[in-house]
Amino acid sequence: MPNTLTLHELHVSAGAVVEEACGWLLPVHYGDPAAEHRAVRAAAGLVDRSLVGKVEVTGRDRVSFLQGMLTNDLKALTPGQACPAAFLDAHGKVQALLTVLALEDRLLLELPPGMTEKTLQTLDKFLISEKVEFTDVTEAFALFALHGPKAAAVLADASGSPLELEPYRHAERTVVNASARVCRVDELGVPGYHVWVACELAAEVWRRLLQTGRPHGLRPVGGSALTVLRVEAGVPCFGHDVDDSTLLMEAPLEHLVSYTKGCYIGQEIVARIKYRGHVNRLLTGITLDSTEVPDHGAAVFAEGGEIGRVTSAVYSLTLGRPIALAYLRREHLEPGTPVMVRHHEGTVPARVTALPFVPSA
């Protein structure tokens, strides 16, 4: 029996078509994925991202401990700031991608769905005498994402106060008597916000956001449109485009790294690649000259040989053609390079494309 989101019945009553994925019934769309895609591009879209792992970190050594674990500079954060980061192994391979929010008395972590327990177990192995406590609060909080040029206006109307946050800044707001932590994360090429709210108040907040968002053109958004927007923005997804076999420098994730912070797990490998070498493959874009969307893992060919594999592929509603993210050997990365992509028993023509496919708004 698959698991369901806290707001599952609300989604279904709103017309959501749900499908099972990784043991969960999740909204794929709400009747018109193309309209959901347009809403995010032109107005605002509301997504239930409650499966994102959520962790509270307390204890006097919380910052110094995670400073030695993660790729970005946590010591530079002041309360109200956030940063993206990666957790690597000693070989420089990605164990998790996360966002860190700094508060006065704790840190909050956002982790890929399904990765919380494994990540915390691994971090625990590095704890010796440090005063740090990790609490998995995934089931205690819902997490909603608001994306689009009018997302800030929707949140301002819902909370009754202006919302002026720079990227990776967060603040507390009240929505229908519920305390919500709002963090700006522009992850789809448009302004975006993550909203943390206690699960018992999630339904009221969801309804309020839909109500105040309707005059702004807001629509609830399912996984189908969200995936198209993500690939158009060239954003790798952990578990699809990046996993524990991926070197950090093989994906467009260098913005997660501080080169001045000092040591962390995997730092030697990252620095060696940055300053003294290179990786043999990179995640890049491919635009297909057909109507066929390739499968995950489809082989990419050039000059008679296989040069890489597709990780995510969609039909771009902005560009009107299929696009894909793929790891390609470094000698074939020049934008415009012609390639062929396996599809069923044949191949389709394509060309290498710089990321993102659609520039940020």
List domains and CATH numbers for the chain. 3-51+139-232 (3.30.1360.120), 53-136 (3.30.70.1400), 280-361 (2.40.30.110)
Strands 338-343 and 299-302: antiparallel
* Spatial separation of the C-alpha atoms in residues 82 and 284, rounded to whole Å: 27
* Spatial separation of the C-alpha atoms in residues 89 and 96, rounded to whole Å: 10
What residues contact 21, with CB distance under 8 A and at least 6 apart? 223
Question: Which pairs from 333-336 meet CB under 8 Å and 24+ separation?
Answer: 333/282, 333/284
* Spatial separation of the C-alpha atoms in residues 167 and 185, rounded to whole Å: 6
Burial class (CB in 10 A: 0-12, 13-18, 19+), 358: buried
| pLDDT tens track, the chain, 361 positions | 899 999 999 999 999 999 999 899 999 999 999 999 999 999 999 999 999 999 999 999 999 999 999 999 999 999 999 999 999 999 999 999 999 999 999 999 999 999 999 999 999 999 999 999 999 999 999 999 999 999 999 999 999 999 999 999 999 999 998 999 999 999 999 999 999 999 999 999 999 999 999 999 999 999 999 999 999 999 999 999 999 999 999 999 999 999 999 999 999 999 999 998 899 999 999 999 999 899 999 999 999 899 999 999 999 999 999 999 999 999 999 999 999 999 988 999 999 999 999 998 7
Other CB atoms within 10 A of residue 184 CB:
22
Q: Is the dihedral of CA 207, 209, 214, 218 positive or negative?
A: negative
Whether omega before 356 lies within 30 degrees of 0, making that bond cis, reads yes
* Spatial separation of the C-alpha atoms in residues 160 and 151, rounded to whole Å: 14
Q: Which of 300, 119, 326, 129 shows the shortest CA–CA distance to 234? A: 326
pLDDT in tens, 18-48: 999 989 999 999 999 999 999 999 999 999 9
Sheet with strand 17-21: strands edge to edge: 3-4, 24-29, 17-21
**314 neighbors 278 (Cβ within 8 angstroms):** no
* Spatial separation of the C-alpha atoms in residues 56 and 120, rounded to whole Å: 11
Produce one character per residue of 134-160: b if its CB has 16 or more CB atoms within 10 Å, e if not: bebbbeebbbbbbbbbbbbbbbebbbe
- Both structure tokens of 218: 């807001």
Strands (DSSP E) contained in the chain are 3-4, 17-21, 24-29, 45-48, 53-58, 82-88, 94-102, 107-111, 133-136, 141-147, 170-175, 178-184, 192-198, 219-220, 281-288, 299-302, 305-316, 321-329, 338-343, 346-353
pTM reported for the whole predicted model: 0.96
**222 neighbors 233 (Cβ within 8 angstroms):** no
